Structure 1
Amino acid sequence: MDITTIIGILLGFISLIAGFALEGGHLASLWIYTAAIIVFGGTFGAVIISFPLSSLKDLPAAFGMAFKESKRNPAQIIDEIVDMATIARREGVLALEQRAQDHPNPFLREGLLMVVDGTDPDLTRQIMELEMDALEDKYEGYAKMFDSAGGYAPTIGIIGTVLGLIHVLGNLEDPDTLGPKIAVAFTATLYGVASANLIYLPIGTKIKNRSKALVSDMELMLEGILALQAGENPQLIKKKLTSFLHDKNGRKNTEAGADANGEEK
């Protein structure tokens, strides 16, 4: 489990509830099951309408990407590529065949096998870039489902509030109960806005960030493979690839969570 995702969601909701309680609110008044049915049911219904079944089937994987922690280790990848470049310069790329076949990273494995097979460098780049684009599009689809839910939830909450007010205004026989009934009606808006800004949109953003980190690692592997194929000096390769360990401001990239090992196709 990614502890930052869990902590963030818990902290957000605990802060809201604690602030409400400190203002003298009654916690029991925050749970209105009819409002929950309207907001969460309506939001999921809107998402189901928006995406095809093939995309909706990926929803568990999208949740897993947000909550499952997987370690990145680009420095280790660089060391492996440099080591293989040293072997290739000394013994030829064919000496890497067994090591390539046994490598646990599918993206790096496929690239190395293309090098061993003597694939044209331009074709190697083209194939691997297509793989990167496909994976990036896949994760973008994951994020879009949560972004859509984050867009629908507040509106569905307002609809729930309007429905509640219709019910309240249709029963004005007892004016003393108007205040509590109106408060209950606005609970739907609370559910919609809170779920959008504490669950759906943050998870969508996290998926985008992890996708960006994963693609960065794949770019590192691609450049390393092409440099290895070109027979470049291993130390120059290391210097070139080390630039991927830093962001544009020169700070070390230590983002954890994206899987540097790629994903089996």
Structure 2
Amino acid sequence: MFVIIGYIFMSACIFGAYAAHGGHLGVLWQPSEIVIIFGGALGAMIVGFGGKPLKATLKALPSLFKGSKYNKAFYMDLFALQFEILSKVRKEGLMSIEGDVEDPHNSPLFSKYPKVGHDHHVVEFMTDYLRLMVGGNLNAFEIENLMDVEIDAHHHEAAVPAGAISKLADGLPAFGIVAAVMGVVHTMGSLHLPPSELGGLIGAALVGTFLGILLAYGFVGPLATILENKAAEDHTVLSAIKVTLLASLNGYAPQVAVEFGRKALPSAERPSFKELEDFVKNAKSK
């Protein structure tokens, strides 16, 4: 939603101001230069990010037009689920959650919180380390190190689409210059034409530089920022799970362990202590 709103606002300001001062918008429409600029930048991106990175980038593109799924409601469900799991462990022992961990999709606990249950990465991360806790062969320090390694690997993987789009944006102004130079070369070979026609050719050549810069900083560059923010959100949710599970592994009660996880959230998504406490109590009673 905000992507579309931003594009409309930006275009209205730029092209509206240009037209208000007597500029002719039709002059800016140069399809051949758009092909040169975008085609060249896309080709360079494919060279640098071909294969799995390119597939990951294409897969990530639809998420650009969706809001974040990691909001306060999601975190409330996440902490309520962790509280119930850890409470069950405290009352019945680690082996009591073996069935929930091995088959979370059919687990009564996970089924109560579909927002969390439908997130493959979150469920996999949580169940993997609960499984290690059930096994009992690793101490808290070893599990924490393993968590850090996995979170870093996941963050690196999630950052690949943002890096690819960022490189695409970086290449657009350069290929805009390529289009402009090619236009100038064409103009230099047409000096026999009258001044009015030469002026049109020169103007068309300069449009290449304009389009390269506009596409880079106005349209494509912001998309890389969105993907970077989404990668950071993925890192945050895994870190919150990590902090909660480690607190439990170190002997803290479920209520305290969940509070550790709550503190790991940014203020915009962090529920208050009272909000989370009331939500967990109501969820548990259902």
TM-score range, shorter chain: 0.7 to 0.9
2:31 corresponds to = 33
Matches within 5 A, 1:220-259: 220-246=240-266, 251-253=267-269
Residue deviations 1:175-227 (CA, integer Å, cap 9, x gap): 22222221111111122111111222111111111111110110110111122
Q: Structure with the greater relative contact order (CA < 8 A, sep ≥ 6): 1 or 2?
A: 1
Deviation of 1:61 after TM superposition, in Å, equals 1.5
Q: What code does the residue aligned with 2:32 have?
A: T
Decide whether the 8 Å contact of 2:53 with 2:160 is kept in 1.
yes
2:222 corresponds to = 202
Query: C-alpha separation between the residues in 2 aligned to 1:52 and 1:176?
Result: 45
Deviation of 1:91 after TM superposition, in Å, equals 1.3
Decide whether the 8 Å contact of 1:40 with 1:153 is kept in 2.
yes
Flag the 1:5–1:186 CA change in 2: closer, same or farther, 3 A.
Answer: same
Decide whether the 8 Å contact of 1:39 with 1:156 is kept in 2.
yes
User: Alignment RMSD, CA only?
Assistant: 1.9
Aligned residues: percent identity? 25
- Detail structure 1 runs of 4+ shifted over 6 Å in the superposition: none
Aligned length: 248
1:77 corresponds to = 78
1:226 alignment partner, SS class: helix
Deviation of 1:139 after TM superposition, in Å, equals 1.9
1:48 corresponds to = 46
Q: What code does the residue aligned with 2:53 have?
A: S
1:176 alignment partner, SS class: helix
Residue 38 (structure 2) pairs with residue 60 (structure 1): no
1:57 alignment partner, SS class: helix
Residue deviations 1:131-152 (CA, integer Å, cap 9, x gap): 2112111122211111111111
Query: C-alpha separation between the residues in 2 aligned to 1:127 and 1:143?
Result: 25
Decide whether the 8 Å contact of 1:88 with 1:228 is kept in 2.
no
Which structure has more helix as a fraction of its residues?
Answer: 2
Query: C-alpha separation between the residues in 2 aligned to 1:54 and 1:87?
Result: 41
Match of 1:109 among 127, 150, 154: 127
Query: C-alpha separation between the residues in 2 aligned to 1:52 and 1:32?
Result: 29
| Unpaired stretches in structure 2, ≥5 consecutive residues | 105-109, 111-116, 118-122, 271-286
Flag the 1:86–1:74 CA change in 2: closer, same or farther, 3 A.
Answer: same
Decide whether the 8 Å contact of 1:161 with 1:188 is kept in 2.
yes
| Unpaired stretches in structure 1, ≥5 consecutive residues | 255-265
Deviation of 1:70 after TM superposition, in Å, equals 4.6
Query: C-alpha separation between the residues in 1 aligned to 2:160 and 2:69?
Result: 22
Decide whether the 8 Å contact of 2:184 with 2:202 is kept in 1.
yes
Matches within 5 A, 1:83-98: 83-98=84-99
Query: C-alpha separation between the residues in 2 aligned to 1:144 and 1:224?
Result: 31
Q: What code does the residue aligned with 2:262 have?
A: T
Query: C-alpha separation between the residues in 2 aligned to 1:12 and 1:98?
Result: 53
1:245 alignment partner, SS class: coil
1:17 corresponds to = 15
2:172 corresponds to = 153
Flag the 1:116–1:14 CA change in 2: closer, same or farther, 3 A.
Answer: farther
Decide whether the 8 Å contact of 2:126 with 2:241 is kept in 1.
yes
Residue deviations 1:83-125 (CA, integer Å, cap 9, x gap): 2222221111222223333143221122222222224133332
Flag the 1:209–1:119 CA change in 2: closer, same or farther, 3 A.
Answer: farther
Deviation of 1:41 after TM superposition, in Å, equals 0.8
Decide whether the 8 Å contact of 2:240 with 2:265 is kept in 1.
no
Residue deviations 1:206-261 (CA, integer Å, cap 9, x gap): 11111111101101101111222333112221322221233xxxx4337xxxxxxx
